[in-house]
Chain A
């Protein structure tokens, strides 16, 4: 299921699990609006080590179709730039948002 199709499917309180467990709210709430710097992957330099995928705290790095290379999900990337810091070959550069 793609993220745009995810919705909370409950009707009443009785359908809910006791705690907020997989309510689908993570998909609904796009949390990237406060990003200042946008990480951009330079595929020429990227060696597909997946370290950025492992370190992203969101996690906003996924394997894209069809070549299964890392890509940033800009709906959820908060711009913490941990990926930039951790990339061993400096394959991720940044651009200011709104430019």
Chain B
């Protein structure tokens, strides 16, 4: 095991290296470029024995890793924003074909107007593609999540997207423990899939399926997601035994006696943790619930933790125009069937990479103190 200062993008590359990926196909896009730059160097100098496929678009990149995975190879790609949008059609294909592809997505706001800064709308708009989605809050989690993603994906035949904030993680160096290859090999066995393209046992894949059986196949995808809820935590505990770090579905902080709980993802959640500490020093009963896994959506955990709160704040660095915060709408959905659920305050902030500081988050808690009822949408920081 060694410790290195690396950017989040390179944490993705090291995660892929240690997972011994066999095929990489990617198209460069800011802020993802460094991920594949490093992987192409690793392939060129022989550090990583993988096929590096150059393609002319993200649609082709996803199609290439889909083909690779269908032929029995462990496949990896990474993209961002418009690139992810261009992959959309094939994202559905990969899930329907039940291929355990793992990809990195660096959150970047959609254009126009052109932006390269962080916002979660790109990955959240792939919500219904059937990909599992993991939102990392630091570079160590990025690297570890790639290894964990292959472990879970390959058992369930579901793809996973490891998601990180542009620049706040992608281009920021942090100390990261690089696990030993032997230990990763012990944790993550080679990819095996009996449903692959094999000339000795030819099959037709994904053929036209009548209304009589289509629904059953969709049911199976959903069931696999439900299984993932347990498996992610189980593998998280196995990972902890070997590497000393635990990753679950959610990451609650000081929620046990909290009257107000803030829900956030990614780096905004690490900032919120600091804000919670500062408010706790002042005697405020506040807590944080970081959602790490967005698909499958951890309904049970979220209900369990938030049902004890008097108020819930959701911080959304994303926007579904005409509806509001995407995570807030999921959280409200999770709470809806509880008899007495806390009011939800839905804040939109930090779009297009605008800073979300400790001070901002402390303001959210202070504002919430004065509000008795929930609010469907509150714009924080817009110059009105």
Contact = CB atoms under 8 A, between A and B. Distances in A.
Interface of A: 8, 10, 12-13, 16-23, 25-26, 28-29, 31
Given A16-B217, A16-B220, A26-B204, A21 B209 contact: no
B96 interface: yes
Interface residues of B, number: 20
B217 A20 contact: yes
26 contacts: A8-B213, A10-B213, A12-B216, A16-B217, A16-B220, A17-B195, A18-B157, A19-B97, A19-B98, A19-B217, A20-B205, A20-B206, A20-B207, A20-B209, A20-B213, A20-B217, A21-B205, A22-B203, A22-B204, A23-B204, A23-B207, A25-B207, A25-B208, A26-B208, A28-B210, A29-B208
Nearest to B202: A22
> What is the predominant secondary structure among interface residues of chain A facing chain B?
loop
B210 A25 contact: yes
Q: Is the interface of B mostly helix, strand, loop or mixed?
A: loop
A75 B210 CA distance: 17
B32 to A, nearest CB: 29
Contacts of B97: 19
A16 B214 CA distance: 11
Contacts of A21: 195, 203-206
Given A17-B195, A19-B97, A19-B195, A26 B207 contact: yes
A17 to B, nearest CB: 6
Q: Give the top 4 A-B pairs by smallest Cβ distance, nearest first.
A: A13-B216, A18-B98, A19-B98, A22-B203
B114 interface: no
A19 B213 contact: no
